[in-house]
Amino acid sequence: MVRIDDNAVVWRQGTGDDLVLAMHGFGADERDLAGVAPYLPEQFTVASLRGPLPSPMGGGYAWFEFNPAVDSTDHTMVKASAEAVLEWLGTIGDKYARVHALGFSQGGVMAVELARLAPTRFTSVVHLSSFAHNGDLPGDADLLAMDPKLPLFSGIGHDDNVIAANKRERSIPWLDAHFDVERHYYERGHTITMEELQDVSAFLNRV
């Protein structure tokens, strides 16, 4: 059974009652997005999670099996990892009034998947250098019906050659239909820039 390792979570305690779940990309670990925590609003507690699967490339971890050339509609593994995050989130009870899902690359897929499984559990989604997993889920209809729609920050790099263009372009209208999207484009590759972090911080302060 897929589980989140509670001992591998890196925390940055905030001064308020908002929690950001930070999820890294393929082949990284919990220390990766822990590095963005100092640039987020100080009132937000940040929990940087480790993906539950050892990376098949050697070193680091993953949230699901990933082939950049295949636009899979099989949600089995990404859904299992998202359910594991929701289970872990349940173990910390109602300590935080509002929860935000933030993910980079494969972690961005996870952030959207979490909202698809439990749309009312989250206050916003931050989706960086990523795409939405293809195929339908039962919770998609709930996202469509939300009024107002769940806010989502989308950060896209003009020079990002890691996320296949067809996945990125296919995801844009889907995200626009299911979320209240604030989309930003950056002159960058597959990374996170300081300008982007400033925009994310401003977004989190608004929602």
Confidence (pLDDT) at 202 = 98
Any domain includes 95: yes
CATH number of residue 75's parent domain: 3.40.50.1820
Question: For residues 65 and 78, what is the distance between their CA atoms, to the nearest angstrom?
Answer: 8
Beta-strand (E) ranges in 16-149?
18-23, 44-49, 53-54, 61-62, 98-104, 124-128
pLDDT in tens, 153-195: 999 999 999 999 999 999 999 999 999 999 999 999 999 999 9
Number of domains in the chain: 1
Any domain includes 63: yes
Any domain includes 1: no
Any domain includes 175: yes
C-alpha separations of 43 from 37, 123, 201 in Å:
11, 15, 11
The answer to whether the peptide bond before residue 52 is cis (omega within 30 degrees of 0) is: no
Q: Region 126-152: what's the mean pLDDT?
A: 96
Going by their DSSP bridges, the two strands 53-54 and 61-62 should be labelled as antiparallel
H helices within the chain, ranges in order? 30-34, 76-91, 106-117, 140-145, 165-178, 194-206
Any domain includes 151: yes
Question: For residues 51 and 65, what is the distance between their CA atoms, to the nearest angstrom?
Answer: 11
Question: For residues 41 and 15, what is the distance between their CA atoms, to the nearest angstrom?
Answer: 9
pLDDT in tens, 59-110: 899 999 888 778 989 999 999 999 999 999 999 988 999 999 999 999 999 9
Backbone phi, then psi, for 53, in 5-degree steps?
Answer: -115, 130
Q: Which domain holds residue 52?
A: 6-206
**Which amino acid belongs to residue 176?**
D
Mean residue pLDDT of the chain comes to 96
Any domain includes 146: yes
Going by their DSSP bridges, the two strands 151-157 and 53-54 should be labelled as unpaired
